[in-house]
Structure 1
Amino acid sequence: MSVAIDTTTPAISGLPDLWAETLGEPQICVAVLDGWVDQSHPSLADAQLTQLKPLLPNVSSQGSAAQHGTQVTSIILGQHHSSLKGLAPQCRGLVVPIFTDGKKETLAEDPFSGAIAPCSQLDLARAILLAANHGAHVINISGGQLTASGEADLLLANAVRHCIDQNILIVAAAGNDGCNCLHIPGALPSVLTVGAMNAAGLPLDFSNWGESYRTQGILAVGENIPGAIPGGGITTNSGTSYATAVVSGIAALLLSLQVKRGQAPNPRAVRDAILQSAIACDDEPAPDCRRLLAGRLNVRGAMSIIGQLGEPMNDNLELATIQSEPRETSNPPPTQPQIPAVQAATYSPSALEVTPQSVQSLPASSQLPNQTNPGAIMPAACSCGGGNGTPAQLVYALGELGYDFGTEARRDSIQQHMGEGANPQDPRQLVHYLNENPSDAEAMIWTLNLDATPIYAIQPQGAYADRAYARLIQFLTEQLTEGVERVSIPGVIVGQAMLMSGQVVPIILPTLRCMYSWTTAALIEAVCGSPLAESASDQDREVYGERAESVSNFLERVYYELRNLGITSQERAINYAATNAFNIERIFEFAMREEIDLEGIEVERSPVSRPGSDCWDVKLTFFHPRRVFEQARKVYRFTVDVSDVCPVSVGRVRSWFVR
């Protein structure tokens, strides 16, 4: 016998008042980074919803990941003419699939019985940047990875930093471990973290309460939340996943309220308003105040603040310290062992169903990785390209060149062609073979790697493909024989490739004229000149050493501190700056003459404009190490136009003093 579900929106105090003002504005975009979404569901059929092509090996429209994604999306964007009313039905939605189905745990006839496979931090970073590039104001991440440190992988942290710079609000789940612990990305200070409470305002037992959440976390109702499931049904579930969707919906309404009142949508101000207005333990006591985080969601209070303020209350959002190398885990994901992972923040829910099918509630998600692995958001992949009709995604990425065979059969085939006893996994043997048989370069998957992790596949096409493959062979040879440390790969995203490990990466169609390789020593020599002879004076050798150290400092900061996926305009500008020795030579020539050292590197929108351009200023700030308190800092700035696949410098280097 079917039991009816109450499909009304959960009791959220103040929501009717907010709905009386707005049901959302089409210009406000909420990106949902989750599983596949059934857009034909009655609650979503008329929603302004765009689902981007996923970078997933096994996308399913019926499994647990699809149920999770469909339910989370319907909580935010469900249309009010249906039986399931979402919070912000008139806002625009963007779905970026990052979760897929894991191993089935129960009967095969139950389509929602399996675990949700996790999404790597690398793929989460791609999804965040993709959502940002498509105009998201709010990014909902109903998932996370348990972490002991609260630190994220550098690529993910830089993606979150990009959202800070672009004033995009990330809302992420606190996690369902029921402990004084943290999840990534919810632990990053710029993120609005969401824990779960019941209708009475008491924290649910499974909701996490890590220390950093007490200043950046909010509790929202997360118990028995109704939501859509693929195929037209409705279910209820509990978890911080669904509380996160509630807060993302409220944030979208508050942004819409700003628009209605003639203000520019300001996600940072909305975040501040939600946190400042939260109902804390002093206002409504609880047995353990730590579990309330910063407080309970207060819709009326946030509305009041938004009505009074048009500017953010706090512009000093910063990221926590981030690690550059993921730690080893005792039980790594099988497909991407070097990348930590984030998983959907589901909880064993009590669910009732109202479908002709025997649909069960979403089961508890698979066990999180070991806490000693702080860099993960469970492995699944997401597309860096767009859906149908979206512009090609430009890329200008830096990294080390690698290769893969895709399948064991392809590897064995190349091994047989190399001869008995040959090992195609040995780069030196492979390079020797490819130099004699260059046509076989097309039979491999060439990769661009960061810290031994593939981030792209490289696939030349067209009339000059053979020249591009020859360049790749040359790069690999130089890495082995000349110590080449970095290569630049410009191009556009044209698809995806699965590696032998099972990892799926975007494919770059490269542009030959901007493919470079170099060593730090070679760039230093281009800027500082050839190393001095042994007969040079000690003073000259000391001056040369200081100059070389300054240039090396700049390059190392780009390679490590600012390393990125080369997707956004800012990332392509800074990556081009690291390969353009001409501008760097002039800047460091001036800096060395004035005996000043590099302090910071920034990228800002340039006032330079020309038709069809996308110009950004790379700004290098220097200081005098011996007269820190006596002299102003000096800024050098040059402009890079990244509108084309190959960036180009515009105008001259400019400089001025600042205090």
Structure 2
Amino acid sequence: MMHPSNTRHALLDNPLSDLQQLGINGEGIKIGIIDGAIDCQHPILNHLNIECFSAQTGKSTSHGTAVGSIIGGKGVGIAPASTLLSIPVFHEDERGNIHGCSERTLAKAIRDARLNGCHIINISGASLSINGQGTDELRKAIDDCEKDGVLVIAAVGNEGRNSESLPASMDFVLAVGACDKEGFPASFNNYGIKLRNKMLLASGVSIPVATPNYDLSVVSGSSFSAPVVSAVSALVMRAMNVANDSRASKMIRDVLFNTATPLVLSTAGNRDSVVYRLNIQKLFRQIAQEFYHPLPKRITTMSTEEKMVEPAAVELLVPSIIDAQQDVQNVELDDDEVLAPSSLSQEASVPSSASSHATGLSLSKISDPAANHYVHAPARRVMPQSSALDARTIRDQEKVFVIGQVGYDFGTEARLDYFTQVMGNKSGYPFDPVQMAEHLNTGDNAEQSNALIWTLKIDGIPVYAIKPDAQFAVLEYARLVEFLYEQETKGVERVSIAGVISGETRLFNGQVIPTISPVLRGMFNWESQDISKMLMGESAVGTPKSKELINFINRIYYELRNRGYESNERAINYAATNAYQMKEIFDDAFAEGLFLNKISAERSPVSRPESDCWDVVLEFFNPKERLTAARKLYRYTVDVSDVMPVTVGTLRSWHAY
């Protein structure tokens, strides 16, 4: 924590300068910018420590550069001493139009930002949503941030609709809307029920920013309000000395809202709701009084207006984010004005100097931009499996080992019509999996299998598309046909697929899911009774021991169902399919009358170089003597660094109370 004496000369008549002094300009705070690529060589940004998560193969974007300059640019930035981590997920085409990303790509970017030490994550992108829930992947990524104290900040979107937006509407996300220099909410803010209950307003109209090619511009949009709040949060986090605290995200949200100015937002046809506007003056005094005792005397009376900050070369105004009014204000908005989307185009941008020009920077969409294609390019190029046979190369890719059921999709009307014709216009029904399985398994029809989008489903929900693209693609398609046929006609219950994520696929219903490039040696299917026969013999079928083994297999699938993406998930899923190790455990446990209590995976304290080892622990108990008998634990180590997990060492067991 900074010593009180360090604030002696900080109390000027500019509350933002005061807060910057108190927060040491965000020094030591790492902000993840999930946006387009940033122009790191821009004169306003070249002083910053900007880390790039991956090599930027594309050109820098106006949107990402603008967001970065608001956070830390010379003269226009609020936290110029902070560290930025650029994670590019948006890109611009030749015409300057920005294209968004899928929720899966966003979830991965959030996860990467958290794992790379970010304290704050800024997302200046949004997608309209009916309920604001998001996918389970996105929810998990944000939940993990909250557990670690990482603050996620997102723009509400610029469509001006009474609708939720992602990810701003999601739990634990600080939703940021724009207000003008007078403090009135911008008409282009989205204002769904969830957003109205959690929105924080900050300056988002006529914001001076840097753009690529050493240019400057003035822009508007909630896209540019979010980095204002992110930068202020960095100052507060540094001043409160709570970085790396698991409670940090909640503490920052609380202090921002507790010191904000409440506004009553009225729209035709909706109940009045209270939104809050960032109040730097009150925020500074709250931080100073709570964390720096005693509060030094002010040199001058605090101004209620933001002072101008002069950069080295060009005179630019700092975003007008100060609001000195602390009483509740009523803001009446005409409903027609609110519902009309604001066009954040060149007409809305005013040059800040003769040397700069206006650029139209709009809010990035977190959705699939490929409206007319069922497959679109991944946000980050993944090396094809055929050219990545080296295990050291595969180790750095996104690996999957997932358990589920195989399914299929058509993707387009044309593909659906094709199968309707080849299966018989009158008798064939392509949506019937039994008919499709029998059709593909007849004659040479297996050659039609690559016209389908093969999927891996969990509880009937497609979570991955399966697209063989390696040297064994023909055999992999044949195995998928076999899996479908045995699943629909012979009662096979599960399949397991090992592979690497190679992109994303759009299904017939518009859903976008990750695509797996499978490996043939990691494709299996099974039926519980067959496993029981294989491990325990024909005579054991129907016995209590056999039923307990089947219960264990089903429990892995139903209770611990997962996407098989995280390292611990792949370790657990591999444990469920490692039949011979499973037999060794159950022979011993059943002999002692023990039943499975829980299964977990934790990172192994002992690991081989360049490996990713996890200890899978199975805990058994005696249901007849739960209070007196010790639990028995079995542990074996799984290395998931390769696309196909392997066990390391031997099975260990011990008793524990």
TM beyond 0.5 = yes
Tell me how far apart the structure 2 counterparts of residues 246 and 136 of structure 1 sit (CA, whole Å). 17
Question: Bigger CA drift: 601-610 or 178-187?
Answer: 178-187
Distance 1:40 1:658, change over 3 A: same
Q: State the shift of 1:610 in Å.
A: 1.4
CA distance in 1, matches of 2:290, 2:381: 37
Q: CA distance change for structure 1 residues 165 and 636 in 2, over 3 Å: closer, same or farther?
A: farther
**C-alpha displacement at 1:74, in angstroms?**
3.6
Aligned partners of 2:412 and 2:508 also within 8 Å = yes
Q: Given the alignment of the two structures, is residue 156 of structure 1 paired with residue 160 of structure 2, yes or no?
A: no
CA contact (8 A) 1:192 1:271 kept: no
Q: Give 1:274 shift.
A: 1.4
Q: Distance in 1 between matches of 2:42 and 2:632?
A: 58
Contact 1:395 1:490 survives alignment (8 Å): yes
Q: Is structure 2 residue 462 aligned with structure 1 residue 453? A: yes
Alignment match, 2:387: none
What is the match of residue 558 of structure 1? 560
Rounded to whole Å, the distance in 1 between the matches of 2:194 and 2:124 is 20
Aligned residue identity for 1:458: K
CA distance 1:279–1:400, change in 2 (3 Å):
closer
* Structure 2 residue aligned with 1:639: 637
- Of 444-453 and 484-493, more deviation after overlay is shown by 444-453
Q: Deviations over 1:69-126 (max 9, x none)?
A: 55334433x542xx6436356624223325889xxxxxxx9966xxx88755444334
SS of equivalent residue, structure 1 residue 491: strand
Give 1:489 deviation, angstroms. 2.4
- The offset of 1:503, in angstroms, is 6.4
Q: Matched residue of 2:610: which SS?
A: coil
Aligned counterpart, 1:608:
606
Query: What residue number does 1:3 align with?
Result: none
Superposed CA deviations along residues 518-558 of structure 1, whole A, max 9, x for unmatched, are 34555566678769678xxxxx66x7656644542332122
Aligned equivalent of 1:336? none
Q: Which fold has the larger relative contact order, with Cα–Cα distance below 8 Å and residues 6 or more apart in sequence?
A: 1
Separation in structure 2 between the aligned mates of residue 469 and residue 409 of structure 1, nearest angstrom: 21
Name the structure 2 match of 1:170. 152
1:95 corresponding residue in structure 2: 87
Match runs of 1:49-60 below 5 Å? 50=52
Partners of 1:656 and 1:293 lie apart in 2 by 56
Residue 170 of structure 1, CA deviation: 2.9
Residue 606 of structure 1, CA deviation = 1.4
Which is worse superposed, 392-401 or 157-166?
157-166
Say which of 202, 205, 218 aligns to 1:235: 218
SS in 1 for 2:637: strand
Between 1:488-497 and 1:645-654, the stretch displaced more is: 488-497
The 5 Å alignment of 1:198-597 reads 206=189, 220-228=202-210, 232-239=215-222, 241-251=223-233, 266=244, 268-278=246-256, 280=258, 291=274, 298=283, 351-354=348-351, 359=358, 378-380=367-369, 383=378, 385=380, 391-403=396-408, 428-429=435-436, 432-433=439-440, 436-437=443-444, 438=446, 441=449, 445-450=453-458, 451-453=460-462, 455-462=464-471, 464-494=472-502, 506-519=514-527, 522=530, 548-559=550-561, 563-564=562-563, 566-587=564-585
**C-alpha separation between the residues in 1 aligned to 2:625 and 2:279?**
50
Partner of 1:141: 123
Q: Give the Cα separation in 2 of the matches to 1:525 and 1:197.
A: 68
| Correspondence for 1:106 | none
- How does the TM-score come out when normalised to structure 2? 0.65
Q: 1:136 to 1:645 in 2, by over 3 A?
A: farther
Q: Which residue of 2 is the match for residue 75 of structure 1? A: 70
Structure 1 residues 478-487 or 595-604, which shifts more?
A: 595-604
Q: CA offsets, 1:483-532, max 9 Å, x none?
A: 33433222234456666777665543322222222345555666787696
Identical aligned pairs, as a percentage?
34
CA contact 2:102–2:367 (8 Å) conserved in 1? yes
One-letter amino acid of the counterpart of residue 220, structure 2? N
Structure 1 residues 393 and 267: alpha-carbon distance in aligned structure 2, compared to 1, 3 A threshold: farther
Q: 1:54 to 1:616 in 2, by over 3 A?
A: same
571 and 86 in structure 1: CA distance in 2 versus 1, 3 angstrom threshold:
farther
Structure 2 vs 1, CA of residues 147 and 229 (structure 1 numbering), >3 Å: closer, same or farther? same
Q: Deviation string for 1:383-427 (max 9, x for gaps)?
A: 474589994333323443344567777777788887887776665
**Which stretch has the larger CA shift, 404-413 or 220-229?**
404-413
Contact 1:485–1:520 under 8 Å retained in 2: yes
Residues 599 and 166 (structure 1), Cα distance of their counterparts in 2 relative to 1, 3 Å cut? farther
For structure 1, list consecutive stretches of 5 or more residues without a partner in the other structure.
1-9, 102-108, 309-345, 367-376, 535-539
Query: Matches of 1:522 and 1:476 in 2, distance apart?
Result: 17
Question: How far apart are the structure 2 equivalents of 1:525 and 1:100?
Answer: 57
Gaps of 5+ in 2: 1-13, 266-271, 294-340, 370-375, 384-392
Displacement of 1:21 = 5.2
What is the DSSP-based 3-state SS (H/G/I as helix, E as strand, rest coil) of the residue aligned with 1:650? strand
- AA paired with 2:487? Q
- 1:275 is paired with a residue whose SS is helix
Larger radius of gyration: 2
Report the 3-state secondary structure (helix = DSSP H, G, I; strand = E; otherwise coil) of the residue aligned with 1:140.
strand
Structure 1 residue matching 2:642: 3-state secondary structure: coil
* CA separation of 1:418 and 1:622: change in aligned 2, threshold 3 A: same
Per the TM alignment, residue 252 of structure 1 is displaced from its structure 2 partner at its CA by: 5.2
Question: Secondary structure of 1:644's partner?
Answer: coil
Secondary structure of 1:87's aligned partner: coil
* Aligned AA (2:136): L
Contact in 1 for aligned 2:496/2:525 (Cα 8 Å): yes
Change (3 A) 1:246 1:458: same
Which secondary structure does the structure 2 equivalent of 1:649 belong to?
Answer: strand
CA pair 572-293 structure 1, distance change in 2 beyond 3 A: farther
Paired residues, what number? 562
What is the CA distance between 1:203 and its match in structure 2? Answer: 7.0
- Asked if 1 retains the 8 angstrom alpha-carbon contact of 2:532 and 2:541, the reply is no
Aligned twin of 2:322: none
CA distance in 2, matches of 1:526, 1:13: 73
Contact 1:181 1:209 in 2 (8 A): yes
Q: Secondary structure at the match of 1:567?
A: coil
> For residues 56 and 612 of structure 2, what CA distance do their matches in structure 1 show?
27
**1:523–1:581 contact (8 Å) kept in structure 2:** yes
CA gap of 1:581–1:219, structure 2 versus 1, over 3 A, is farther
C-alpha displacement of 1:607: 0.8
What's the counterpart of residue 316 of structure 1? Answer: none
DSSP 3-state at the match of 1:459: coil
Alpha-carbon separation, structure 2, partners of 1:629 and 1:185 = 46
Aligned equivalents of 2:537, 2:524: Cα separation in 1 = 20
